[in-house]
């Protein structure tokens, strides 16, 4: 066949494959992964460091593509996601699946060959955790799905750190825990002010299932845990005082912004200002906390324990 | 297939080929750099 006929479908635009990788989520993944890598004690060749961050990003992209492959029907039923390539029919569903698998396998193999297989194993676990445990298994089944999804987002700094040190110690696990406990208040604040249609597509989001009051209470619980937890790296001697004090201040402000969210209820024609403020701050919080962690390492360097 | 559709078909095919070529060249450069660094570290 030399010329395309009517039976031939247009080949998908490459930008639609790019959109499958969720580039906006990836920016946070790259940042926290890079910070884990830079904050870890020891030295990594810049080429290998770049490769490690690239593989973390590729893996996240692959997991994102698999997520959109599985949720194509759910996405088409919700306003926020109905413009994605699969609900719009701009891509074949099986192409998205194969693209996701290819990215995932390539990222794990390259990381294993270039760095070591411990980091590659954790990356593989994180992809399976997000694509299978979260997306396929638990997200449609429990209102605690955001707590579980937070685990997937918590992997990048752990992988970045382990890529440098070659072993799993308390510090990278603490970075994992910080993102894990940060995610629920971050996402539920958003869920409170965005009119989502999760109920329509059968995803049991906490505000829909347990109600607004329970959601607000749980946001508070996670914010309270985050305050001491974020400072633990300093208390165990893993960082200097710069990180420790910054973590207490940043998490303290987080908690202060949580109080009005926790103890009010949505009124009529509510502008949802406290919730929007908390959500916006939560993003800045994560960038600032991990940025300070790297600055702390640059300043105190080898004088702190590992 | 109208001439417009055919032009669009060719445009997309070409864009995909260019992206794929860039990816492959990028991978070659990356593997070359990794190899140099890792062999250098053993020496």
ipTM of the complex: 0.90
In angstroms, rounded to a whole number, what is the distance separating the alpha carbons of residues A127 and A103?
10
Mean pLDDT to the nearest integer, A161-188? 96
| Beta carbons of A171 and A109 less than 8 angstroms apart | no
Is the residue at A9 inside a domain? Answer: no
Convert the pLDDT of each residue in A204-217 to its tens digit: 999 888 989 999 99
Residue among A4, A47, A54 whose CB faces B9 most closely: A4
- pTM, to two decimals: 0.92
Across A216-237, b (16+ Cβ under 10 Å) vs e yields bebbbebbbbbbebbbbbbeee
Average pLDDT over chain A, rounded to an integer: 92
Chain A residue numbers with beta carbons less than 8 Å from the beta carbon of B1 are 3-6, 8
Kindly state whether residues A207 and A236 are assigned to the same domain: yes
- Return the pLDDT at A175: 97
Cβ <8 Å between A3 and B6: yes
Residues A136 and A212 in one domain: no
Share of chain A above pLDDT 70, in %: 95
Q: Which of B1, B12, B37 sits opposite A13 (nearest CB)?
A: B12
Are A162 and A174 members of one domain? no
User: A148, A168, A188: which is the final residue of a domain?
Assistant: A168
* Domain match, A91 and A30 both: yes
Q: Do A10 and B5 touch (CB under 8 A)?
A: yes
pLDDT tier, A84 (very low <50, low <70, confident <90, very high otherwise): very high
Asked if residue A63 is part of any domain, the answer here is: yes
Mutation choice for B interface testing from A10, A20, A91 by most B CBs within 10 A: A10
The distance of A5 to chain B (nearest Cα, Å) reads: 6
Per-residue tokens: B31: 């593997």
Of the three residues A168, A203, A233, the one that is the final residue of a domain is: A168
Q: How far apart are the first and last CA of chain A?
A: 63
Task: For residue A6, tell me if it sits in a domain.
Answer: no
A305 has a pLDDT exceeding 70: no
**What residue ranges do the domains of chain B occupy?**
1-43
The DSSP symbol for A11 reads: P
| A11: in domain | no
pLDDT in tens, B6-36: 999 999 999 999 999 999 999 999 999 999 9
Q: Clarify whether residues A97 and A179 are in a common domain.
A: no
Domain stops at, among A123, A148, A168: A168
pLDDT the model gives residue A187: 93
Residue A200: C-alpha distances to residues A50, A78, A129, A184 (Å): 42, 8, 25, 22
B-chain CB neighbours of A11 within 8 Å are 9, 12-13, 16
Instruction: Render A18-34 in DSSP notation, one character per residue.
Output: HHHT-HHHHHHHHHHHH
Q: Do B9 and A45 touch (CB under 8 A)?
A: no
For the residues A89-107, what does the mean pLDDT come to? 96
Same domain, A91 and A139: yes
pLDDT of residue A102: 97
Q: What is the per-residue pLDDT for A2?
A: 47
Residue A98 belongs to domain with CATH number: 1.10.357.140
A161 and A182: one domain? no
Answer whether residue A13 is part of any domain: no
Of A75, A69, A100, the closest CA to residue A87 belongs to A75
Q: What is the pLDDT of residue A60?
A: 97
Q: B12 vs A12: CB contact, 8 Å cut-off? A: yes
Whether residue B19 and residue A14 make contact (CB cut-off 8 A), yes or no, is yes
User: Nearest CA to CA, how far is A109 from chain B (Å)?
Assistant: 12
Instruction: Specify the range with the lowest mean pLDDT, choosing from A120-124, A153-157, A197-201.
Output: A197-201
A12 within some domain:
no
Question: For the residues A19-28, what does the mean pLDDT come to?
Answer: 92
- Chain A CB contacts of B16 under 8 Å are 11-12, 14
- Residue A235 lies inside a defined structural domain of this protein: yes
Quick check: A5 pLDDT over 50? Answer: no
Domain that holds residue A147: 18-168
Say which range, A166-175, A201-210, A249-258, A286-295, has the weakest mean pLDDT. A201-210
């Amino acid at each position: 066949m030399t010329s395309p006929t009517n039976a031939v479908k247009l080949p998908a635009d490459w930008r639609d494959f790019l959109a499958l990788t969720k580039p906006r989520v990836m920016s946070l993944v790259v940042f926290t992964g890079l910070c884990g890598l830079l904050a870890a004690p020891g030295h990594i060749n810049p080429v290998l460091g770049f490769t490690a961050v690239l593989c973390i990003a590729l893996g996240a992209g692959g997991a994102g593509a698999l997520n959109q492959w599985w949720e194509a029907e759910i996405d088409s039923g919700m306003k926020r996601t109905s413009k994605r390539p699969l609900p719009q029919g701009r891509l074949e569903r099986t192409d998205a699946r194969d693209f996701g698998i290819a990215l995932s396998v390539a990222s794990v193999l390259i990381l294993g060959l270039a760095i070591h297989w411990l980091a590659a194993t954790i990356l593989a676990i994180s992809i399976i955790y997000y694509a299978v445990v979260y997306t396929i298994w638990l997200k449609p089944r429990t209102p605690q799905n955001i707590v579980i999804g937070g685990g997937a987002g918590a992997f990048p700094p752990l992988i970045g750190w382990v890529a440098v040190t070659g072993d799993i110690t308390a510090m990278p696990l603490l970075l994992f825990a910080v993102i894990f406990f940060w995610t629920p208040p971050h996402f539920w604040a958003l869920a409170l002010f965005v009119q989502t249609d999760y109920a329509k597509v059968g995803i049991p989001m906490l505000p829909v299932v347990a109600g607004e009051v329970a959601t607000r209470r749980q946001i508070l619980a996670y914010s309270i845990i985050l305050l001491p937890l974020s400072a633990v790296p300093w208390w165990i001697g893993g960082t200097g005082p710069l990180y420790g004090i910054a973590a207490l201040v940043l998490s303290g402000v987080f908690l202060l912004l949580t109080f009005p969210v926790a103890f009010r209820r949505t009124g009529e024609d509510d502008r949802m200002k406290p919730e929007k403020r908390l959500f916006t701050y939560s993003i800045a919080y994560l960038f600032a906390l991990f940025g300070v962690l790297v600055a702390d390492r640059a300043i105190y360097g080898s004088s702190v324990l590992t | 297939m109208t001439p417009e559709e055919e032009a669009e078909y060719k445009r997309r095919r070409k864009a995909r080929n260019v992206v794929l070529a860039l990816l492959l060249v990028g991978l070659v450069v990356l593997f070359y750099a990794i190899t140099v660094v890792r062999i250098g570290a053993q020496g």
